[in-house]
Amino acid sequence: MQIAKVRGTVVSSYKEPSLRGVKFLLLQFLDEKGQLLPKYEVAGDVVGAGIDEWVLVSFGSAARQVGETDKRPLDAMVVGIIDTVSVGNNLLYSKKAQTR
């Protein structure tokens, strides 16, 4: 898994029929200091993540093991919305602090 920040949504009117109803998000990956990396990914979302939230992203066959995504051609899936990230004794990210 990797940590990423939701930067936007991706809308596709025409797609593989098994992908109908799947919400797609544009994610930007973060490094160990919480800094944005110049790497993006489009991922399916089954947890209802929103813009600017930090999320957990699963890749490959693990992304397809979520009940709603079984047998769909998805290579990346948002599987969690992050509440906090700590490194050592330092709080790197807090969702509560972001929503104030």
Write the CA distances from 29 to 25, 34, 96, integer angstroms. Answer: 12, 9, 20
| pTM of the complete model | 0.86
Question: In this structure, what CATH number is given to the domain that contains residue 65?
Answer: 2.40.50.220
The model's pLDDT over 4-60, given as tens digits with 9 standing for 90+, comes to 999 999 999 888 888 888 899 999 999 999 999 999 999 999 899 999 999 999 987
Encoded amino acid at 44, one letter: G
Q: How many CB atoms lie within 10 A of CB 52?
A: 12
Structural domains of the chain, count: 1
Phi and psi of 56, rounded to 5°? -95, 130
Measuring CA to CA, which residue among 82, 77, 28 is closest to residue 55? Answer: 82
* pLDDT value of position 72: 74
Domain extent at residue 76: 2-98
Residue 35 to residue 24: CA distance in whole angstroms: 23
Q: In Å, how far from its chain's centre is CA 53?
A: 9
